[in-house]
Structure 1
Amino acid sequence: MNAADVMSSPAVSVNPVTTVRAASAVLGDHGFAALPVVDDEGRLMGVVSGVDLLPAGMSPETAHSPVARVMRGSVISAPVTASPAELTATMLSQRLRCLPIVTEGQVLVGVVSRSDLLRILTPADAVLAARVETALRAYSGRPRWTVSALDGEVSVSGPFSDHAERKVVEALVRTVPGVRGTQVAC
């Protein structure tokens, strides 16, 4: 497994002439911490973050300025061949929330975020069980049942008020994306 297997691709990016206001909109719309800045050939030139954009965007004089004025040109990136361990080490040591992934020619091909790395550390069944627990907690207001998952088959056990509640829980579990089957037991 390497960066190509973990990264989000294609990467959302801006170019140096994108305005501060437009880059702020992209950042806000996608919920990202930062955006890679690439030239017309897709080569990584810099990074612009919310910290860079906020002060510039607050001033009417600089809101329409190009991102090139506020971006950081010194960029830490990783090659497509980097392992998840290498990506994690780089991100932790440099305190990065995201890491651009580039080819040998510095062409941006993707971005790895902390959540991308966490996703590979968390088995799919654990994620599915957590989603079901969240749905059940929203229904009951508190954790009342034990949830486990194996290959998309979800088991829920614990006390039910009555047969109707058991059926509601079973139906609710089936609405969670990724659930292939349910088993509900007292």
Structure 2
Amino acid sequence: MDKAAIRTRSQQLLKQQTDGQRGQLMSRLVQQVTQLSEWQASQTVALFMAQPFEIPTQLLVQIALQQGKAVTVPKVYSKHAMRLEQINTTTQYERSQFGVLEPVDTKAIAPEKIDFWVVPGLAFSTDLQRVGFGAGYYDRVLSQTDGYKLGITIRSNYYVAASWPIDKFDVAMDAVLVVDDQENEKRG
């Protein structure tokens, strides 16, 4: 399959999740991520504001702030540029042209200062590859960091091996967490 077909299929599978299932995914995400030694050792984390069909991240953002971590979320500045902006409990947000919540009046944090990343994607594989939304924002930023990169996905969007072409600029994850698995499955 090519990446476009994977994107379409993966989005459809994510959109099939009910509100109840999304709530369970959010709880499992928090439980599984916060148990990781890499999370526990991290000081500055990159999270993302999930779109309505993605695995919800709001609770993880709140927990990270409560734990005293410096929390960043992406903000798109141009067709090819994304920065990570530090947020706090009083941060205001607005919807981007893509419909994603982005922070207002925040300061950018350099990618190399982030030690733990929760990376969005539409599909992941056991060989730690990722299919994102296609604009390359994350691959460009992730190429600038040595921070721990954790992909998160549901079982139906987790492939035994990447069945899509891997481009030279694609950045592999350090691990992939299948959050709909009750057994806390982490690969990598």
Instruction: Kindly indicate which of the two structures has a greater share of residues assigned to helix.
Output: 1
Greater relative contact order (Cα 8 A, min sep 6): structure 1 or 2? 2
Normalising to structure 1: TM-score of the pair? 0.24
Normalising to structure 2: TM-score of the pair? 0.24
